[in-house]
């Protein structure tokens, strides 16, 4: 990363920096296995913009690889998960977040399944209550058997 920085400085190249968009890092820099693990975790929360419903961690596209590299770099610099997600959200919008935020129309994604379950539960419970309170039907009287064969079988069964 330091070598890249010096190379860019030498060429007077300046790419948009996270600090201009989300401010200074709020966490502590991480390295090694922890860096790899956190990169994968955060990459699984970001949608690949050129794929259909794939996280950047699961996509083989170049765009996803670039975004994943950016996640890793931001973690190395000490940016927190919230800051990193916010960085991508500021350029791609909420579309980039695989887990939609609980706000605006997106809140429906969280509310509707719970609401549907609650309505279903209430319907089932009220139906069950009705069935419980309904008077039990009188047992069906045994029909007289005309068939002599069946009469013989019954006689044999009933015999102690």
88 touching another protein, by CB under 8 A: yes
> What does the block give as tokens for 85?
């997600």
Among 9, 107, 111, 119, binds another protein (CB under 8 A): 119
Q: Residue 96: which of 65, 60, 51 has the closest Cα? A: 51
- Which residues on neighbouring strands pair with residue 97, listed in sequence order? 46
Under the criterion CB under 8 A, does residue 3 sit at the interface with another protein?
no
Stretch that binds another protein, among 35-43, 82-90, 134-142, 151-159 (CB under 8 A): 82-90
Report how many residues bind another protein under the rule CB under 8 A: 29
69-77 contact pairs (CB < 8 A, 24+): 71/39, 71/42, 71/43, 71/46, 72/35, 72/39, 73/1, 74/18, 74/25, 75/29, 75/30, 75/35, 75/38, 75/39, 75/42, 76/1, 76/29, 76/30, 76/31, 76/35, 77/18, 77/25, 77/29
Q: Is 62 in the site for another protein (CB under 8 A)?
A: yes
Binding residue (CB under 8 A) for another protein from 29, 37, 95, 117: 95
Residues numbered 14 to 53 that lie near another protein (CB under 8 A) are 14-16, 20-21, 49-50, 52
Q: Among 82, 118, 126, 153, which residue sits at the site for another protein (rule: CB under 8 A)?
A: 126
Among 12, 28, 31, 133, binds another protein (CB under 8 A): 12
Residues that bind another protein in the complex, under the rule CB under 8 A? 4, 11-16, 20-21, 49-50, 52, 62-63, 66-67, 69-70, 88-93, 95, 116, 119, 123, 126
């Amino acid at each position: 990363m330091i070598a890249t920085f010096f190379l860019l400085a030498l060429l007077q190249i300046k790419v948009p920096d996270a600090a201009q968009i989300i401010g200074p890092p709020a966490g502590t820099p991480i390295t090694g296995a922890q860096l790899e693990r956190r990169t994968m975790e955060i990459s699984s929360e970001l949608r690949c913009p050129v794929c259909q419903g794939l996280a950047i961690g699961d996509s083989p596209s170049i765009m996803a690889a670039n975004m994943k590299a950016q996640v890793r770099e931001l973690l190395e610099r000490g940016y927190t998960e919230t800051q990193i997600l916010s960085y991508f959200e500021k350029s791609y919008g909420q579309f980039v977040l695989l887990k939609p935020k609980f706000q605006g129309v997106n809140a429906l994604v969280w509310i509707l399944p719970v609401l549907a379950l609650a309505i279903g539960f209430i319907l089932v419970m009220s139906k069950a209550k009705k069935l419980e309170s309904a008077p039990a039907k009188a047992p069906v009287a045994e029909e007289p058997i005309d068939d002599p064969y069946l009469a013989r079988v019954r006689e044999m069964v009933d015999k102690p």
